[in-house]
């Protein structure tokens, strides 16, 4: 692997992950003139495989930093400790990467991931090179896998349920965990379903924003019940319209997630935290297994005991207290990956 700039400085609240050598690399994007910045983390001894890390929703830095926790930095170092090199990349417009994530298209983001996988494969030579997606990155990663030829695919805290079902289930689980009454849960989930009807019902961006604005204005009392207390009416409406209009929402609602997993051309490992309230472990693993089994590809599913969406140790009651919880505990997930590679992928 070529020479590069070493990165060993710790990240705030990231945990040390057992510091392993890192070097910065440049990655071509799918847009001419736009270059992405990334970091390769390598085992000190004996690289047995390599994996591209694909982050979740929103513009993310290469460390997938959420609430001060550098999820991917910790994961990269834990994987390096068990012999797996990784590449993690700043999204467009974040950190050292050019472009604008929010102004991009889903196809461009998927193509970026496919090109980044190709860069890692070239860097790592002959070792089996796969993709590890986290959260929404599972869907992006699955779509990228269908365009490439990865040796393996790992879905971490993701799902291939129908987008509407996954998002409404997530919203319901969150409300119930926060102690909302059954009646309030029904009201809030119904409102969310109405938003999705508008997003799925029109392709015209201007008309969609107008309909979303009217819908939000008609449901201000319900929105204040959901947590908008001090904001002016127009601020609430603007927030709902802007949030619901982002391309990621339509992408999740309209993309055939099951079909994406059915096109993954390699063995699949799916893992989800026992206390993850953003992605229900039982529903997630069941849906992915059902999709993959039909392809004839090997599948393994694992529930990560006591962990939440960011792989932090927690209870179900504290699952969303990201700021107050400790750093991601990715060691168990890394060990699962290594064992699976040894017994199910590298042995093929």
Q: What is the pTM of this model?
A: 0.89
Residue 116 main-chain phi, psi, to 5 deg:
-65, -40
Q: Which two tokens stand for residue 175?
A: 């409300």
CA angle 312, 332, 40 (to 5 degrees): 90
What are 181-206's pLDDT values in tens digits? 899 899 999 999 999 999 998 888 89
- At residue 6, the pLDDT reads 28
Whether the CB-CB separation of 130 and 50 falls below 8 Å is answered with yes
The distance from CA 267 to its chain's CA centroid, rounded to whole angstroms, is: 19
Paired sense of beta strands 268-273 and 299-304, if any: parallel
The per-residue pLDDT of the chain, averaged, comes to 89
- At residue 178, the pLDDT reads 79
Whether the CB-CB separation of 298 and 267 falls below 8 Å is answered with yes
What are 123-167's pLDDT values in tens digits? 887 899 999 999 999 999 999 999 998 999 999 999 888 888 888
CA-CA distance, 287 to 83, in Å (whole number)?
30
CA-CA distance, 44 to 22, in Å (whole number)?
10
* Percent composition of the chain: helix, strand, coil (DSSP 3-state, to 5): 45, 15, 40
Q: What is the DSSP letter of 254?
A: H
Between residues 247 and 70, the one the model is more confident about: 70
Q: What is the DSSP letter of 67?
A: T
What are 81-121's pLDDT values in tens digits? 999 999 999 999 999 999 999 999 999 999 999 999 999 99
Whether the CB-CB separation of 336 and 303 falls below 8 Å is answered with no
CA-CA distance, 60 to 70, in Å (whole number)?
11
The rounded radius of gyration (Å) of the Cα atoms in the chain is 20
Residue 185 main-chain phi, psi, to 5 deg:
-60, -45
Residue 115: strand, helix, or coil: helix
Q: Which two tokens stand for residue 153?
A: 């695919």
Q: Given a cut of 90, is residue 340 above it in pLDDT?
A: yes
CA-CA distance, 17 to 181, in Å (whole number)?
41
CA-CA distance, 344 to 200, in Å (whole number)?
40
CA distances from 55 to 69, 131, 235 (A): 13, 11, 30
- At residue 190, the pLDDT reads 93
Whether the CB-CB separation of 40 and 1 falls below 8 Å is answered with yes
Q: Which two tokens stand for residue 165?
A: 């079902």
Element (H, E) at 289: helix 281-293
Residue 178 main-chain phi, psi, to 5 deg:
-85, 0
Q: Which domains does the chain have, with CATH numbers?
A: 22-157+258-345 (3.40.50.1820), 165-253 (no CATH)
**Residue in this structure with the two tokens 């001060």, named with its chain if needed:** 68
Whether the CB-CB separation of 101 and 92 falls below 8 Å is answered with yes
């Amino acid at each position: 692997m070529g020479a590069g700039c070493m990165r060993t400085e710790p990240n705030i609240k990231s945990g040390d992950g057992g510091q392993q050598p890192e070097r910065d690399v440049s990655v071509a994007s799918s847009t001419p003139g736009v270059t992405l910045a990334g970091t390769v983390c390598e085992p000190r001894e004996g690289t047995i495989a390599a994996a591209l890390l694909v982050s979740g929703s929103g513009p993310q830095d290469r460390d997938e930093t959420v609430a001060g926790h550098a999820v991917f930095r910790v994961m990269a170092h834990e994987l390096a400790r068990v012999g797996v090199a990784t590449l993690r990349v700043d999204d467009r417009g974040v950190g050292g990467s050019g472009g604008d994530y929010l102004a991009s298209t889903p196809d461009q983001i998927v193509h970026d991931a496919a090109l980044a996988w190709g860069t890692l494969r070239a860097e790592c030579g002959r070792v089996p090179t796969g993709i590890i997606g986290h959260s929404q990155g599972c869907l992006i990663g699955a779509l990228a896998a269908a365009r490439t030829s990865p040796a393996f695919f790992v879905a971490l805290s993701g799902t291939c349920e129908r987008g509407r079902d996954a998002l409404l289930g997530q919203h319901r689980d969150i409300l119930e965990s926060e102690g909302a009454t059954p009646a309030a849960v029904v009201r809030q989930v119904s409102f969310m379903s109405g938003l999705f009807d508008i997003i799925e019902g029109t392709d015209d961006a201007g008309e969609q924003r107008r309909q979303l604005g009217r819908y939000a204005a008609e449901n201000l009392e319900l929105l204040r019940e959901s947590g908008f207390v001090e904001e002016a009416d127009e601020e609430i409406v603007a927030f709902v319209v802007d949030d619901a209009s982002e391309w990621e929402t339509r992408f999740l609602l309209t993309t055939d997630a099951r079909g994406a997993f059915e096109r993954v051309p390699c063995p699949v490992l799916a893992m989800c935290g026992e206390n993850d309230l953003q992605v229900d472990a039982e529903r997630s693993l069941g849906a992915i297994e059902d999709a993959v089994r039909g392809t004839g590809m090997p599948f393994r599913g694992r529930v990560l005991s006591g962990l939440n969406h960011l792989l932090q140790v927690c209870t179900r009651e504290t699952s969303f207290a990201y700021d107050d919880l400790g750093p991601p505990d990715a060691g168990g997930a890394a060990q699962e990956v290594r064992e699976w590679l040894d017994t199910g992928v590298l042995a093929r």
